[in-house]
Amino acid sequence: MPARARYDAAMTDLSAFWRINPSDADPAETREWLDAFDALVQAEGRERATFLLRKLLDHARARRVPLPPVLNTPYKNSIALADQAPFPGNLELEQRLSSIVRWNALAMVVRANRAHAELGGHIASYASAADLFEVGFNHFFRGGRDGDL
């Protein structure tokens, strides 16, 4: 198998989503299914293959066949890129502030670990929480407009 095909197979292999990967009870039948699918894509195209896969998934769900999670959603951005408002701030400055917040998170965890080594070093967790607060304070949490709360 060429290197690119091995890479593609590894990136699309869903076996990691199953707790137990049973061995293939009938490799010949599996090969027939895969060959038939390849022939479908070749003859009818990707859209038809997608349609049939979705029908098979619906059919399997109706029969309560366990499936791996769906890795994409039907979400579609309803605002075209050309219709989006320009960014209402200085993106370079906001990226710099975000970097400072992450650095501060790192410094606080390191300082706490020097004083109390048993705390552990959850730098990534703290940095993620700091980023969440940064987004919240800048975009969601709003006070009244009539002065102090």
DSSP 89-144: S-HHHHHHHHHHHHHHHHHHHHHHHHH-GGG---HHHHHHHHHHHHHHHHHT----
Report pLDDT digits (tens) over 63-114.
998 877 766 666 777 888 788 888 777 888 888 988 888 888 788 888 888 8
Burial 40-65 (b: 16+ CB within 10 A, else e): eeeeeeeeebeeeeeeeeeeeeeeee
CB 57 within 8 A of CB 67: yes
| 20-35 tens-digit pLDDT | 667 889 999 999 999 9
Look at residue 147 in the predicted model and tell me its pLDDT: 61
